Amino acid sequence: MTVIQLSDEQAAALNAKAAAEGLTLEAWQKLASVGAPAHAPKGRFSLSELMAQCDLNAPLLEEDRAWLDATARGREA
């Protein structure tokens, strides 16, 4: 196991992340060292991976249709 020296600011940020998940920093580090479960999302995806999940034949929701039909308010493409 490699021990990394953290600045006070980095340690505080890690403590806050652990607390947000209801864990102590030590418990959070143990979970992180085990690795993410196979079913956990990886966090970054390519456009092709995201598109592969889309159903192009699915009907638009009413809210989506209203957003698409609305007039531009700023610098939308």
pLDDT for 23-61, tens place per residue? 777 776 677 666 555 555 667 888 888 888 888 888 989
Alpha helices, DSSP H only, in the chain?
8-20, 25-34, 47-52, 62-69
In a domain, residue 76? The reply is no
- The confidence score (pLDDT) of residue 66 equals 92
In a domain, residue 1? The reply is no
Number of domains observed in the structure of the chain: 1
Residues 68 and 60 sit within 8 Å (Cβ to Cβ):
yes
In a domain, residue 24? The reply is yes
- Given a cut of 90, whether residue 63 has pLDDT beyond it is yes
- The confidence score (pLDDT) of residue 71 equals 87
In a domain, residue 18? The reply is yes
For residue 23, give the nearest of 32, 40, 6 by alpha carbon: 32
**Is the whole-model pTM more than 0.85?**
no
Provide the residue range defining the domain that includes 65: 8-35+43-69
